[in-house]
Structures are given as structure tokens and as C-alpha cells.
Amino acid sequence: MKQIFIIGLLLIVMLVAGCSGTVDSTGTEDEDLQMSVYVDGEVGTQDNGDETMTVAKFETSMGTFELELFTESMPITTGNFIKLANEKYFDGTRFHRVIASFMIQGGDPQSADTSKRSRWGTGGPGYSIKDEHVAGAELTNARGTISMANSGPQSGGSQFFINVVDNTFLDWDKQPSSSKHPVFGKVVSGMDVVDAISTTPVGRGDQPVEDVIVNSVVIEER
């Protein structure tokens, strides 16, 4: 089972910076599974006229943080995330990969099971979603943004990462364009919690020594 990596330029940047790390995720648990695309025209939409926003509230073992989801500009990606959150898909999972001064990664359903620790980073929902590559000032892998982890084009599923520094070299429109990780939201409160998670001690495979558990992800309209 292959893991999903932020590929290409990441390796170069990490070598230059004198550190190492990757962002892993797998869209399916069955390599023979036919790729499908989840699109819901209603889930995750909002009316700007009402000045509302869709918020994902993360309750973790290290504290609470909230993300605004970019539902208008990224309807496929946010629609999928909202669907999974409403199904309690993320509840009980872990931030299974943490790299200081880079990112924290979660969303693998297998990370809810400690007996599958060796496979953390390879799980997914059993389907892949279409990449949304949209230009925009907010849609860049800047500090505090949440982005899709994947193994290449059209391979995102449920795994995501939150940038703890500016990682704009991971944007879809940067050259070389081998890394394509769509941004679909940003932290609006609790960035101190995200930073704390990012500096937790890690062991083999960048897995936290002490599990960082996602107790719940709740979607709210505000």
C-alpha cells in the first residue's frame, strides 16, 4: 500500500533546509478500487449576502481550534470534508504525522486503531475526489491553512494537513508543479493549539510519542 506524499519540491526544500519530512495520505485501502469523485452541489455552500461562514470545530486531546472552510471557492473539497465530519468520520482519529516548522497531518481512519499503527498514513474513505485548483490570495499554503494530502492528481480522499509555516512551494501553480495540494480553509481560532501539536515529541515515522486524538470535528454555520 503506497503512502501519499507531498512530492517533488518538498524533498528538495527539506534537504536544503536541513530537515526531512513528508505528508502522507492514501485515498483508498484497495488499490484496485475504481476512482470516483464526490460532488454535492448543496453541501458546504453559503450565501455571502448573509455574511455567514462555515466553521469546522476540532476538539482534540491538546485543545480546541477552529477553521473557516472556503465553501464558495472550494465546493468539492469542502463538501467532501463536511460530509465526512457530519458522519463523525474523523472522531477518534489521530494527528498521525507531525513535523515541526512544517505541518500537522490527520484524517486517516486507520489512526483510530492503535493495532494498525504501522499502517497509519495509508487509509482513506474508499474513494478519491477531484482536485480543485483555483487561483486566489487565500488559496495558498500559508501558515494556518488546511490543505489536502494526496499521492498525485485526483487522489485526495480524507487526509489533510495544516500548515504551521508558509509552505507556498506546495501550491498547485508553483514550479515545478509536481506538488498539488489544494487549500480549502484556514485556522480562525486556536492556532496556539495547532502550534503546540506541531512541537509535540515524535518518534518513528514522525508519529507523536503521545497520541494527539481528534475527539470530534463539528461543522457550524455562523
| Domains of the chain by residue range | 9-28+50-221
pLDDT higher at 196 or 138: 196
The three-point CA angle 130-136-138 to 5° equals: 95
Tens of pLDDT, residue by residue over 67-123, are 999 999 999 999 999 999 999 999 999 999 999 999 999 999 999 999 999 999 999
CATH architecture, domain defined by 9-28+50-221: Beta Barrel (2.40)
Query: Do 10 and 19 touch, CB atoms closer than 8 A?
Result: no
Distance separating alpha carbons of residues 62 and 14, to the nearest angstrom: 27
pLDDT at 53 over 90: yes
Cβ count within 10 A of residue 127: 17
Distance separating alpha carbons of residues 220 and 16, to the nearest angstrom: 41
Give the chain's mean pLDDT. 82
Question: What does DSSP assign to residue 3?
Answer: P
CA separation, residue 204 to residues 7, 19, 31, 99 (Å): 20, 15, 25, 12
Give catalytic residues, as residue numbers.
97, 102, 105, 150, 161, 170, 181
